[in-house]
Structures are given as structure tokens and as C-alpha cells.
Amino acid sequence: MGQLTGKTALITGASTGIGLATAERFVAEGALVYMTGRREQELEAAARLLGDQAIAIRSDVSDLADLDSLFRRIADDGNRLDVLFANAGGGDANQPLDSLTPEAFDHTFGINVRGTAFTVQKALPLLNHGGSIVLTGSSSASRGVAGFGVYSATKAALRQFSRVWAAELAPRGLRVNTVVPGPTDTPGLRGLAANPEEEGAMLDGMAGSTPLGRTADPAEIANAVLFLASDQSSFMTGSELFVDGGEVQVFP
């Protein structure tokens, strides 16, 4: 405990799943945590669970005006940032090439790539020297899963952004790394299924894609994010940390 005592963090996409689990872990480690999400009621409920060290701000990373308001609020509070976990993501799943629409393409790239890029850009004036930026990648960026071309391409783009940003931001004393979850049991993942029967089959199939034979708990991903956010990873930048149950390394 106490790895982030006295530090301030921002986590986007923190209403549920990996973002919420990470916010919980950061608070337990002593951080003041700003949490964002698009669904205000869900976000506020999550922040209430975490207590006074969590501050909820409704914000959509694909909306540049929202991002401006978010960082203005942090600055108006008199705070700077030591950790940015650019976790917000999503998009339209199961979009094979022959049925892909421009709207679905733009929606997914708008959240995952454009949203992440401008979240990081607009955070820069508030990030302290020695700060850590963590992006959420995906094991799908290393695998060819039918129907997930656009989504996996967005996560591959983030992988390259993290490498380039690591080079660009090192002179400012900032580190940039990517955490790469495998299949993780989150509301977002379960929401890909059309019904409970399909949900069970989908989760079983994803569990079977890992050598460990199960999906991850969001708290397990949060542990890895904490490592990248803290001084424990002080000599890491431009790296990908796979927390995928061996999915990519053993079952490529």
C-alpha cells in the first residue's frame, strides 16, 4: 500500500470494468483519482463507492470540448497530474470487411485513436516531470480475429503511438507504456453477446483462447496498470505489458 501516496491520477473510461478496478486500486494506494465516463449516473455511483479520494467528471473522450472542460476542471481544482491512464475505448464489434460502414469505422477510430491522442495531448500541460502515461491496448492487435479488423487496428495504432510518444516525451521526464489485456470479464465484454446463452458460450470460447483456461478479473489488469503507473516501472517506456493469460505468447 502507499505506492501512489500524494499523487494525482486521471483515469478515463472509469465507470466500470478495468477503469473502475484501477481507480479502486489507485485510491487504495493513496492517490487522488479523477474518474471520467460518458454515463453520468453510473460514473457517480462508482465514485461514491471509492470515497473522497475519487472525483467523477462526466466526459466523452471523442468530444474535444469535453476534454477541454475536463482538464480545465483539474487545473481549477489546483491539481496537476502524476498519472494518466488513457483507458476509455470501445466501438462497434463484429464488423467484417464486407459489411463495414464508414459510420462504424469513424466511431471506433474516433473513440480509441482520436480520443486517446487528444486526451494525452491535452493532459501534457498538467503532467508533472516523472509522470506516467498508460494506454490500454488489446491482445486483438496481435491476433487476426474475424470481424474485429477495425477494433484491432485501433489498438495497433495505440501501440505505435506509445512508442513514438515515449521518444517525444522522454525529454519532459514522462514515460509512456501500454497495458495489453487479454479477454477480461467486464460489462463491456459481456455486452457483446446478444443474450445470456450466447454470453456464456462467448466467455467459454475466450477462456479457451488462453493457456490459463479462463478470462481475467479486472483487478488483475489493474495490478499491472499500477505497476506501470508507479515508480516500480521507472526504467520502462515505450513498452507493452501483456496481461493476457498467455494468449498472444503461447497461442498466437
Which amino acids are annotated catalytic? 151
Please choose, from the candidates 147, 8, 166, 136, the residue with its C-alpha nearest in 3D space to the C-alpha of residue 61.
136
- Alpha-carbon span 72 to 234, nearest angstrom: 28
**What's the CA angle centered on 65, arms 64 and 66, to 5 degrees?**
90
Question: Residue 177: how many CA atoms within 13 Å on its side-chain side?
Answer: 22
Phi then psi for residue 130, to 5 deg, are: 90, 5
The answer to whether residues 61 and 37 touch, using CB atoms and an 8 Å cutoff, is no
| Cα 74 to Cα 3, 13, 67, 121, 122, distances in angstroms | 22, 17, 11, 15, 12
Which string of DSSP letters, residue by residue, matches 66-122?
HHHHHHHHHHHTT--EEEEEE----------GGG--HHHHHHHHIIIIIHHHHHHHH
From first CA to last CA, the distance across the chain in angstroms is 36
